[in-house]
Amino acid sequence: MFDAILIDKTDDAQSVSLTQVSDDMLPEGDLRVDVAWSTLNYKDALAITGKAPVVRKFPMVPGIDFAGVVTESAHPDYAPGDKVVLNGWGVGEVHWGGLARTARVKGDWLVPLPEGISMRQAMEIGTAGYTAMLCVMALEAHGLTPDMGEIAVTGAAGGVGSVATLLLSARGYDVAAVTGRASEAEYLKGLGAASIVDREELSGKVRALNKERWAGGVDVAGSTVLANLLSMIRYGGTVAACGLAAGMDLPTSVAPFILRGVTLAGVDSVMCPAPRRREAWSRLASELNMTRLADLSVEVPMDKVIETAPNFIDGKVRGRIIVPVAPELG
């Protein structure tokens, strides 16, 4: 038996509890891991609260990422004792995830713990940080450089936004941190933001084009926020879009694309191919300021995860939430 957060559904009613689960309920997989650290992300909050149909198979252990130690392996690349990281691949949605003491997964989904960082630090980064790096890589792949002007980061005080602000400012970009929480201005400046923009400025009626303001953007919001952002991107700029905190829709026109040559680069962390994942993790391990990263992470124990999840839906979470599942493992 092992501790796990378990989401179940009977007669259309969802229940969630921290409970003891039997080993024989573990899903299929060629590798077993003792989970040391996991995290809480926006998607986990949707799964735990049932606010969106993230979970597609019940019962489900949520947790879209974890860091841990391999205990059994039938996979040629991993042996017992190896430290590993997992993000995405439907874990916490269709396959049991990281908010449990034990996980059984496919070895192909794993990334070896990058040199120079601990399992705790890997989860301070987590899916949010890894996605932020995929966004930075997307902007750079489209030719963005720091001399081209400010980059707007929406949802800047959240998980993806905080790490994106940290990464971009460390690479020499001027970051305009877009936030709905004026109270987080000092926090965002501490991460390296050059200016703070009230989210209201991107929440009004969308015009096809607005005054050119930013060279690029990282967007976690979607909907009206992304549409307004696109209308304010300078000629030839790029926006990396990864989220839907404001909504799934996108009420824009083709004007930014055909009149200003703006690129909208989609970023997905879940099914991202292994080589790009490894590149992202290796860059995170070498480029992120781990001391600053530690400052933006808060620990929430397993027995407080369920009550903390609604804070994401209410937009109250600052930075990253990490969950010590078996922190004695390292």
Shortest gap between Cβ of 129 and ligand NDP (angstroms)? 9
Residues whose CB falls within 8 Å of the CB of residue 25, separated by 6 or more in sequence, listed in order: 59
Name which of 102 and 222 has its Cβ closer to ligand NDP: 222
Please say which residue, 6 or 267, places its beta carbon nearer to ligand NDP: 267
CB of 320 to ligand NDP, least distance (A): 8
Of the two residues 121 and 162, which places its CB atom closer to ligand NDP in the complex?
A: 162
Distance CA 284, CA 296 (A): 15
R_g over Cα of the chain: 20
CB of 39 to ligand NDP, least distance (A): 9
CA distance 254 to 276: 29
Long-range contacts (CB closer than 8 Å, 24 or more residues apart) made by 41-45: 41/65, 41/126, 41/127, 41/128, 41/159, 41/312, 42/158, 42/159, 42/243, 42/245, 42/312, 43/92, 43/93, 43/127, 44/92, 44/97, 44/99, 44/309, 44/312, 45/309, 45/310, 45/311, 45/312, 45/313
Task: Considering the complex, state which of residue 34 and residue 150 has its C-beta at the smaller distance from ligand NDP.
Answer: 150
| Residues at the contact surface with ligand NDP, assessed by CB under 6 A | 41-43, 127-128, 131, 154-161, 179-181, 184, 199, 220-221, 225, 242-246, 267-270, 312, 315, 317
Min dist. Cβ of residue 57 to ligand NDP (A): 19
Return the residue nearest ligand NDP (CB atom): 158
Q: Measured from the CB atom, is 117 or 225 closer to ligand NDP?
A: 225
Closest separation between CB of residue 228 and ligand NDP, Å? Answer: 10
The gap between the terminal CA atoms of the chain, to the nearest Å, is: 22
The least distance separating ligand NDP from the CB of residue 277, rounded to whole angstroms, comes to 11
**Nearer CB in complex with ligand NDP: 128/325:** 128
Omega of the bond prior to 59 within 30 degrees of 0, cis?
A: yes
Q: Three-state SS for 286?
A: helix
